[in-house]
Structure 1
């Protein structure tokens, strides 16, 4: 069942995980966001473009703590990051979250699109004015840190290549993996400012062999372990 508002759509993936997206945003910037309901804390993974307020759509239980975690600093994933108090991201992009300059968020690429949205999020919206509010991190993450929400506990995997601070979250008990833009079921991007193809090759070798049950990427449909491995192998083969 799909839930819709004027700006967001959502679908329930499991009893505790909901995928959210912005259907009216240009497909290049139409990312997956995830709301994970924990026993003690809710976890929000990525935050869309910020063209409409995200938090009111989430229906978070009143008074329940929320952890906001960005998989990386690109505009289609951190637009509403500032709406949350407890913000987590990788150390390599901490300065980027604090400043949200175009050079790291790539927000200027959205402004330059011929048609960034199919409909306006608000009558006053002007694409040329698009900007992202700073969202300094409250907790800086590195490889093998843990994010515990009561029940699921996620291990942080540093997966550079698409961006310097790209990370994934792996629940080793269930095999559920949030991969951000390190890997997803679609055309992978390694030629933007800040991309590093040599680092991406190392990340792909790691992902090719990673033991998961399902991967939820920053774009596209969920991936089985086999599908994720196939995508990683294809990238590696194309680079040889």
Structure 2
């Protein structure tokens, strides 16, 4: 592939049919992922919406694209409006259509507009930024499989960070896309009113036991983690339960490579 040079997005090839599309110019350092099969492509999340991600995906593939939403937070649905087929877990359909109740637009605009280190397009104005709202094409549940053509993705319902959060497992490649359930360098969080610390820890425990994982891809910060991180996750989960700190208000709990905030 000819490298794509872009003023906002950074495109990194994971393999010939898998790409990370990253937004390193924003403090959240968000990653979206394009996975191509023989018949269709899947875009896991659509980024912040500071710039339109379809400008990049159009350069990477001519295949029909379906959007798989890890969860309905603004930094993951920013370019949803640029795509025709959008899928979301059943527990966050209402959020996608009507927005997240109790999360003020002022807070969203403050978070989207701060600590930006790259030039943004003229079309971006944080004072008028509005998260995507719309009806999904389809609804996902735990265990669903999406066939892209000789490449099948399994949907894992992993609530905690949000009620309908999902992870996506690409069994053929061994890639586990963990959204905001697992990443490193900044805390994985379950401290907002719409989060559930107990669900989060159960979800971490679930992925810790997965077999056949060759690489872990979180949606923020460092791109691509060694699967040994899952062993650390299991050890950390045991510590959290034993300390009886899996509840809101207990703060940040730091382990060797990652941390959680309740």
Q: Do the two structures share a fold, i.e. TM-score over 0.5?
A: yes
Superposed, which structure 2 residues align to 1:176-215 within 5 Å? Answer: 176-186=175-185, 187-211=187-211, 212-215=213-216
Match of 1:231 in 2: 233
* Preserved CA contact (<8 Å) 1:176 1:214: yes
The number of equivalent residue pairs is 236
* Preserved CA contact (<8 Å) 2:12 2:19: yes
* Preserved CA contact (<8 Å) 2:89 2:139: yes
Superposed, which structure 2 residues align to 1:91-130 within 5 Å? Answer: 91-101=90-100, 103=102, 108-113=106-111, 115-123=114-122, 125-130=124-129
- Counterpart-to-counterpart distance in 1, 2:114 and 2:195: 25
Q: What displacement does 1:134 show? A: 1.3
Match of 1:152 in 2: 151
- Give the TM-score normalised by the residue count of structure 2: 0.82
Q: Which moved more, 1:64-73 or 1:178-187?
A: 178-187
Match of 2:254 in 1: none
Unpaired segments ≥5 residues, structure 1: none
- Aligned residue for 1:178, secondary structure, equals strand
- Aligned residue for 1:228, secondary structure, equals helix
Q: What displacement does 1:81 show? A: 1.2
Return closer, same or farther for 1:102/1:126 CA change in 2, 3 Å cut-off: farther
- Give the TM-score normalised by the residue count of structure 1: 0.89
Moved over 6 A (4+): none
1:2-53 deviation line (CA, Å, top 9, x unaligned): 643111111101111111111221x2x3211001111100110011111111
Q: Which moved more, 1:84-93 or 1:201-210?
A: 201-210
Match of 1:10 in 2: 11
Q: What displacement does 1:94 show? A: 0.6
Match of 2:67 in 1: 68
Unpaired segments ≥5 residues, structure 2: 244-262
- Counterpart-to-counterpart distance in 2, 1:118 and 1:88: 31
* Preserved CA contact (<8 Å) 1:19 1:32: yes
1:130-174 deviation line (CA, Å, top 9, x unaligned): 211213211100000111101110111000011101101112333
- Counterpart-to-counterpart distance in 1, 2:116 and 2:22: 13
Return closer, same or farther for 1:176/1:195 CA change in 2, 3 Å cut-off: same
- Aligned residue for 1:230, secondary structure, equals helix
* Preserved CA contact (<8 Å) 2:8 2:118: no
